Amino acid sequence: MNIRPIIGISASLTLDSSERFLGRRIVSLNENYINAIIYSDGIPFVLPITNNIEIIKNYARLLDGLLLSGGYDINPLNYFENPSLKLGKTLNERDEFEINLIKEFEKLDKPILGICRGNQILNVAHGGTLYQDISLIQGSFIKHNQNALEYEVTHKVTIKEDTNLIKIVGKNILVNSYHHQCIKKLGEGLKVAAISDDNVIEAVENIDGSFKLGIQWHPEMIFNKNKIMAKIFRCFLLECENNKYRL
């Protein structure tokens, strides 16, 4: 019997707002990420924030792949910039945790899929920078933080030739979109895999061809209604499964 690949999903942290437990720290993760991994024949393993490097190294050794989830803005101090007036809420603990996760999984050459914030932290971990708000990009005209329902697609993305992503989703796709930040300077070892019509970087991947993929949209919100989005997760899980038997 084949053992399904076990996928670590980075969790976030929220504070309890109830009167009884006001301020209590709660590990949080949108269930869509979990469901997408289960649907794609993987085993989800939620990773609470820790900056114990030995625990992070064990995560990397024990798990077959890493899914970096969405959430807070990334502290611009991580890429040597001061905070813009348009910067949203940040969480330094999570930034440090995920950067260390990326480094440890990459040391073992295990597949990584980053979604929204996950795409951005992958870029930052490689020395890249971000636009702290899309309004700071001259010429940007697309609404990247949609008001439509989460499973509705709202704008076009063009996939670059000679990328792994074009083999998965094709040349042109429609995506949902919930972000106000995006990649500015590309991180070392990464290449642009997709752009929007207003030249916002919508996806990145490793230049060496290994499965390190960051995407700016949210396939986990739409995988059960959209075959292309479902294919992203299935290809990620297949890479994790193949990688497991290579090690």
Q: Which of 98, 116, 155, 182 is catalytic?
A: 116
Q: Which of 106, 220, 239, 241 is catalytic?
A: 220
> By the 8 A CB rule, do 215 and 119 touch?
yes
Q: Does the annotation mark 220 as catalytic?
A: yes
Distance CA 38, CA 96 (A): 27
- List own/partner pairs for 230-235 with CB under 8 A and 24 or more apart: 230/39, 230/40, 231/168, 231/169, 232/113, 232/168, 232/169, 233/36, 233/37, 233/39, 233/40, 233/42, 233/113, 234/40, 234/41, 235/168
| Nearest CA-CA partner of 97 in 129, 69, 61, 116 | 69
Distance CA 152, CA 149 (A): 5
> For the residues of 28-48, what is the DSSP string, one character each?
E--HHHHHHHHHTT-EEEEE-
Q: Which of 218, 235, 239, 240 is catalytic?
A: 218
Distance CA 245, CA 240 (A): 9
What is the number of H-type helices and E-type strands within the chain? 6, 13
Active site positions, annotated = 116, 218, 220
